[in-house]
């Protein structure tokens, strides 16, 4: 048996990408928190740009359950690595989570499976939760390679973690062709891939009944969030564009009641 996941479902995560500076982050938080709290008992994690992390976190001090993370780290803890931040630095700024292997890191910045694995290891070593992202490109999907690609990314991403660290991690399935494109995987598509990922994590943990949450991401919006959250095996959402507006983010959070 492995430890159960410390992450109550649904897990709703906002990836702001390279948007919202400190003042905008404060404005977002004020507007979001002015709305009624989401009527669910899940988890919420916001991933601002690093420069806005402290501002966002301080602006959300009245909502202690709200967690914050960084979108990327380097795997060394400190030193002469200009332009990078480490897991311990992210933690010192109040982050509890780290996105690892987001498709934009893989496809815009050339991050390899091996590097993603090192980042997950560094995050876990610092006591942060790695949020490992996996997903196939359109050509890989059309070639019938979806499962092979996401399972390769999954195994490489988790390879350096202990079983206990895997049991405490979060996963996100984000088909590359659905990110920022307005094309969403159907709930059935998401369920199929989530099921394959869940089985593979069960093999790693030696526990088919593990509770590692698997989030879906890719063009999630207030109109499709509830249906995606209701799909079997979808434990949460990782939202980019629609998380930048406090009203649409609150609407997505409210749909978590179905999860
Ligand atoms: P999107 O981005 O919601 O804008 O498609 C999702 C993500 O990249 O995490």
Structure confidence by residue, pLDDT tens digits, 12-43: 999 999 999 999 999 999 999 998 877 767 99
Atom number of ligand 1 nearest to Cα 238:
9
**Beta carbon of 222 within 6 Å of any ligand 1 atom:** no
Atom number of ligand 1 nearest to Cα 241:
4
CA of 166 to the centre of ligand 1 (A): 24
Q: Check 40, 111, 174, 194 and give the catalytic one.
A: 174
Residue 258 pLDDT = 38
**Beta carbon of 171 within 6 Å of any ligand 1 atom:** no
β-bridge mates for residue 170, sequence order: 131
Query: 61 phi and psi, to 5 degrees?
Result: -60, -25
DSSP run (H or E) holding 227: helix 225-230
Structure confidence by residue, pLDDT tens digits, 52-73: 999 999 999 999 899 999 999 9
Tell me, yes or no, if 210 is annotated catalytic. Answer: no
The separation between CA 200 and the C-alpha centre of its own chain, rounded to angstroms, equals 18
- The sign one gets for the Cα dihedral 192, 225, 19, 51 is negative
Atom number of ligand 1 nearest to Cα 221:
3
Q: What is the pTM of this model?
A: 0.96
Task: Give the side-chain half-sphere CA count within 13 A for 11.
Answer: 26
Structure confidence by residue, pLDDT tens digits, 103-157: 999 999 999 999 999 999 999 999 999 999 999 999 999 999 999 999 999 999 9
**Beta carbon of 214 within 6 Å of any ligand 1 atom:** no
Tell me, yes or no, if 107 is annotated catalytic. Answer: no
CA of 141 to the centre of ligand 1 (A): 18
**Beta carbon of 251 within 6 Å of any ligand 1 atom:** no
Residue 259 pLDDT = 35
Whose tokens are 């996401």? That residue is 150
């Amino acid at each position: 048996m492995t430890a159960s996941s410390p992450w109550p479902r649904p897990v709703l995560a906002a990836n702001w990408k390279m948007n919202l500076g400190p003042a905008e982050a404060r404005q977002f938080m004020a507007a979001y928190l002015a709305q009624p709290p989401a009527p669910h008992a899940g988890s919420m994690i916001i991933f601002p740009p690093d420069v806005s992390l402290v501002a966002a976190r301080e602006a959300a001090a009245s909502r202690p359950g709200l967690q914050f993370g960084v979108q990327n780290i380097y795997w060394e803890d400190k030193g002469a690595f200009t332009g990078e931040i480490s897991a311990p630095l992210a933690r010192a700024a109040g982050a509890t989570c780290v996105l690892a292997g987001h498709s934009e890191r893989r496809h815009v910045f050339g991050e390899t499976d091996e590097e993603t694995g090192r980042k997950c290891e560094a995050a876990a070593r610092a006591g942060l939760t790695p949020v490992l992202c996996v997903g196939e490109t359109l050509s890989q999907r059309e070639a019938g390679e979806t499962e092979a690609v996401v399972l390769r990314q999954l195994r490489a991403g988790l390879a350096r973690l202990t079983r206990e660290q895997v049991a405490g991690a979060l996963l996100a399935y984000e088909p590359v062709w659905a990110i920022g494109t307005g094309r969403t995987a159907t709930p059935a598509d998401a369920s199929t891939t989530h099921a394959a990922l869940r089985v593979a994590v069960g093999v790693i943990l030696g526990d088919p009944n593990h509770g590692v949450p698997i989030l879906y991401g890719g063009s999630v919006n207030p109109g499709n969030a509830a249906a995606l959250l209701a799909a079997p095996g979808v434990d949460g959402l990782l939202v980019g564009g629609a998380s930048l507006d406090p009203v649409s983010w609150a609407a997505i959070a409210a749909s978590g009641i179905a999860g």
